[in-house]
A and B are shown apart, each in its own frame.
Chain A
Amino acid sequence: MPLYRFADFVFDIQPRYDYTLFLCKDYEVKDGVPDFVIKATEEECQAEKQRALSAVSSGYCEGMVIYRKICNAVAAFDTMLLHGATVKVAGKAYAFCAPSGTGKTTHIHLWKLCYKDKVTVLNGDKPLLRKKGDTFFAYGTPWCGKEGWNTNDSAPLSAICFLERAKTNSIRRLSKEEALMRIFEQLLKPSHIAGVEALLSMTDALLSYVPMYLLSCDISEEAAALSFETMTK
């Protein structure tokens, strides 16, 4: 059975469903020693299916169970899931966060329209962030939202941008106090104490090392240019 590498950890996940095998194929590694063994039982997949708000396949549910278990496993190792559309430009990662339906995907789509090949989507919805020293790295993973935008690649996270809809476009840097609540809401809470402990210390570091912005925007190339120019300059 193949092994998989996510966020520079090696996993033995032995998927039961072809869907998961297909989803994860770009992340296969031929050899290595697994750091974690993750199993999703049939019961867990079916329980996930019962909880789902819309009709989803068992394979999809297996992926959800596996990803949540991965996130819980890596939480104590300075790694966490950020809910945000994350792109790579010139070797640096930028994440866009907002409640679902605000327009994260639309905004990174605008970046791609305006800046073409300069922009790679690492993960359209749920990247892993791993802290190494004073730097947070954003990683592509196969679990990335309904568009399926992901790349098996990583980059140091250069900025996080929170989005809100507005009639006119403006952007400003957030204070730590303003950013705190916003970022905390977008991080997956681990289900064990060591993980929560690590999440809080990572949040503290994230607020210190990664600038956070608030972009009030409409859906336009002007909005994309504003966030791009502000964050990548």
Chain B
Amino acid sequence: MLRDVAGFSLVVPINAEASFQGMMRLNGTGKFLWQQLEKEADEVALVSALCESYDIDEAAAKEDVAAFLLRLDSLGVLEKQ
């Protein structure tokens, strides 16, 4: 789950069995993307949401989203579908 603690956006696991058991801090963009993920957005939807809300071009958004997903994946945060 994503919560604000002491002014920082934190992601923590809610499942004791999850492979990710730490805490991850997100910046503003990270928080935005996480909230899209909570709405079941896929990679394409993340890129278009980022373009719309942050006024950046698609290539840059694609790069940011890919980097964000890679980081989540490397920490074992993502559940693959």
Contacts and interface: CB of A to CB of B under 8 A. Distances in A.
| Most chain B Cβ neighbours within 10 Å, of A177, A180, A191, A208 | A180
Nearest to B1: A196
A204 B13 CA distance: 17
A90 to B, nearest CB: 28
B3 to A, nearest CB: 5
Contact of A200 (B7, B12, B16, B25): B12
Interface string A121-158: 00000000000000000000000000000000000000
A115 B40 CA distance: 58
B27 to A, nearest CB: 13
A204 B5 contact: yes
A193 B13 CA distance: 9
A180 B3 contact: no
Contacts of B12: 189, 196, 200
Interface residues of B, number: 15
B13 to A, nearest CB: 8
Interface string B22-56: 01010000000000000000000000000000000
Nearest to B12: A196
Contact of B3 (A177, A189, A200): A200
Interface in A165-211: 176-177, 180-181, 184, 189, 191, 193, 196-197, 200-201, 203-204, 207-208
18 contacts: A176-B7, A177-B6, A180-B5, A180-B6, A180-B25, A189-B12, A191-B16, A193-B1, A196-B1, A196-B12, A196-B13, A197-B3, A200-B5, A201-B5, A204-B5, A207-B5, A207-B6, A208-B6
